[in-house]
Amino acid sequence: MIELALRQSLRCLAVAGFLFGGMVGSCAAWADDASAGASVFKTECSECHSVKEGRNKKGPSLFGIVGRSAGTISDYSYSDALRQAHWVWTADKLHSYLSQPAKQANPGTKMKYEGLSDPKQLDDLISYLSTIH
C-alpha cells in the first residue's frame, strides 16, 4: 500500500512541477484508470477469470477479489499453494502477485501466467478490480 501511495505521490509531484511553468494540472489526471483496467482485464485475464460473482472459469471468479482472503471461494478447486496461502488480496498484494505470480505463491500454483510488467497497466487493472464487488 505504501508503494502504491508513493507512486501516486510521485505522479502528483510531476504534475506540480508543471505548475511553475503556468500550466494547471491535477493529480486526478494521473490517477489509476478503472476503464483502462477493464481493457487490461479483457486482454490479460478474461480467458481464465470472470468478474461475475459465482462464475469460475479455469481460474476463480475475481468478483470481490480486493479485500478477500486468498483461496477462499468455496466452489473453486484451488491449488494447495493458494489454499495454504495466508494473505488477503490487497491492492499491494495484487500488484506484487500479478507482476510475477509464480514467485509469489508457494510452489504448485496452477496459475500459468507469466505476469504483467507494465506498472501503469497493473495500477489500472487493480483499480478496475477494486470496483468489482
Length of the chain: 133
Indicate which CATH number applies to the domain containing 86: 1.10.760.10
Asked if 12 and 64 sit in the same domain, the reply is: no
Residue 71 has a pLDDT of 92
Asked if 42 and 62 sit in the same domain, the reply is: yes
pLDDT grade, residue 49 (50/70/90)?
A: very high
**pLDDT digits over 11-26, tens only?**
443 333 333 343 333 3
**In terms of residue numbers, what domain contains 76?**
32-131
Place of cell 479485500: 67
Asked if 67 and 103 sit in the same domain, the reply is: yes
Asked if 63 and 77 sit in the same domain, the reply is: yes
Asked if 67 and 121 sit in the same domain, the reply is: yes
Q: Tell me: pLDDT of 30 over 60.
A: no
Alpha-carbon Rg for the chain in angstroms: 17
Asked if 75 and 11 sit in the same domain, the reply is: no
Grid cell locating 103: 514467485
Helices 119-131 and 34-44: crossing angle in degrees, nearest 10, is: 100
What's the pTM value of the predicted model, to 2 decimals? Answer: 0.73
Asked if 75 and 111 sit in the same domain, the reply is: yes
Query: What is the domain count for the chain?
Result: 2
**pLDDT digits over 50-107, tens only?**
999 999 999 999 999 999 999 999 999 998 888 888 899 999 999 988 998 877 665 6
Cα angle, residue 94 at apex, residues 89 and 99 outer, rounded to 5°: 155
Asked if 105 and 57 sit in the same domain, the reply is: yes
Paired strand residues for 92: none
